[in-house]
Structure 1
């Protein structure tokens, strides 16, 4: 997989203005980082949408051609879909047409991530939210739409490109790979387990990994078992190994538990009864006890 470089098109020159030189991409990103403001919007269309399909997508997003004049507009191609998703999905599943489209609006600090889906049958709002957090996305309203019922897996790629171009913050290869991997894993597990439970399980285990620094099979496996028990669900050995592999990738990313909770308040509020906050309190008081023991040992040692 390659790093995410800016390739923005305007509405009038959609086919002509593709930025391919790394230096040009980095300059454009630096400008974006300087100019990015809450309310800025990027729309990424599936490159293979027909004119009627594009109109349908725009209607679902609640935008017009006039609106596009004030937005940054780009596209996601089928080649890119295969490039980013090919390690995790069969080419027949990815398909031969890029149809997934996404609109990203920058929010204020503390707004967190909100996701809306239109004509998306495979990926839920929570799945997108989880994956976007893994990618390091912050404070953004994301709308994913298809011209008719589609899986929507490739829209994650468009969302990450959009955020990167708007903010000038490049999404690393490792973050992008982990985010795509996570979206595919959760959506596949949701074929057999309630999607809400899968979302909460993934968020629970990820929070444990980030907060407690879990990075080995045994520790992550215990976190999976704990989450599954709390949710009252069963996870197969194959599913567990898939989650472990994913979480070992996530453990290497620079994620922060407080930021994760701020970006997905609704999702993490559901985890309060699953031990996340209780564990934080336990760790806090344990640190106090350890400090007191150390203090008295130094006096009476």
Structure 2
């Protein structure tokens, strides 16, 4: 029995070492205080109890930093930033770590089971619309929530640190998140598919620079057709109105397009990387060679 257990322990460790690739979100551990970029920012939902707040702080790895700036977001903030209900209970919490220029925007939902309506791609799209870039953003909740209030927490974090985001862009970004989650739920379309649609529409706007609402409507229709997505006339109109609003704002769609391509291109780069597949093949071969040698040694 002990010998069998040893074999399985060895297999598990060996497989992990040789085969499982090393992936993950950008490190948020303790690297000291970055005097140029400032302290990490943590924003807690006001509706959290003290024990829930403690749980969220652990999920966001707050204790991994020497110092953090902490704030609380409430219903009044929701009303102030995006015109929401001031009596709303706010549970979603975020940690933001500012990065150097060109680092890109990286989102991680630490509690995916508790953020029920918003995917990290949806957050990324909305935050780029709002003008947030070059940051690591972690989202967490200790209870099941839609995830919309996290956006308000991010807005408050920037405001509290003296970074003024454009109010019109914040409003449109929040509308974008609402429309994305509504369509995904009402039309029964996968969140990733909706995020892909939003991304491709933005890329097309960057390339075509539409001058009229009719041209925006054509872009929306073309991307729906390209992705084989069927929407009701009402939802198609909502998308057209949304992106026509964006067109009228001071948004550098070329810059947005670049960041979106960075977001969606990483996995494709990995798939097309011959070196990666050769390394994986070598790792698998090494695994089975080591396994064979170990098993033989047990019976010698």
Listed as ranges, the gaps of 5+ residues in structure 1 are 1-34, 273-301
Listed as ranges, the gaps of 5+ residues in structure 2 are 1-33, 269-300
Correspondence for 1:137: 132
Deviations 1:210-268 (A, max 9, x none): 44332533211211111111211112111111111111211122222332134334545
Distance 2:159 2:211 in 1: 28
Cα gap change, 1:109 to 1:199, in 2 (>3 Å)? same
Q: Is the CA contact 1:112–1:140 (under 8 Å) kept in the aligned structure 2?
A: yes
- Aligned to 1:251, the other structure's residue is in SS state helix
Q: Is the CA contact 1:48–1:99 (under 8 Å) kept in the aligned structure 2?
A: yes
Which residue, 155, 170, 177 being the options, matches 1:176?
Answer: 170
Q: Does 1:199 align with 2:195?
A: yes
Q: Is the CA contact 2:126–2:177 (under 8 Å) kept in the aligned structure 1?
A: yes
Correspondence for 1:185: 179
Distance 1:95 1:36 in 2: 37
Correspondence for 2:95: 103
Correspondence for 2:47: 48
Q: Does 1:243 align with 2:239?
A: yes
Distance 1:106 1:204 in 2: 27
How far off is 1:86 after superposition? 4.7
- Aligned to 2:177, the other structure's residue is in SS state helix
Equivalent residues in 2 for 1:216-231, closer than 5 Å? 216-231=212-227
Equivalent residues in 2 for 1:61-140, closer than 5 Å? 61-64=60-63, 67=65, 70-86=67-83, 96-117=88-109, 118=111, 119-140=114-135
Q: Is the CA contact 1:112–1:265 (under 8 Å) kept in the aligned structure 2?
A: no
Q: Is the CA contact 2:93–2:139 (under 8 Å) kept in the aligned structure 1?
A: yes
How far off is 1:85 after superposition? 4.9
**Quick check: 204-213 or 244-253, which moved more?**
204-213
Distance 1:245 1:150 in 2: 27
Distance 2:257 2:203 in 1: 9
Q: CA RMSD in A?
A: 2.4
Q: Is the CA contact 1:206–1:250 (under 8 Å) kept in the aligned structure 2?
A: no
Cα gap change, 1:107 to 1:220, in 2 (>3 Å)? same
Q: Does 1:214 align with 2:205?
A: no
Q: Is the CA contact 2:44–2:72 (under 8 Å) kept in the aligned structure 1?
A: yes
- Aligned to 1:159, the other structure's residue is in SS state helix
Q: Is the CA contact 1:39–1:107 (under 8 Å) kept in the aligned structure 2?
A: no
TM-score scaled to structure 2, two decimals? 0.69
Q: Is the CA contact 1:210–1:255 (under 8 Å) kept in the aligned structure 2?
A: no
Q: Is the CA contact 1:112–1:263 (under 8 Å) kept in the aligned structure 2?
A: yes
Cα gap change, 1:36 to 1:136, in 2 (>3 Å)? farther
- Aligned to 1:160, the other structure's residue is in SS state helix
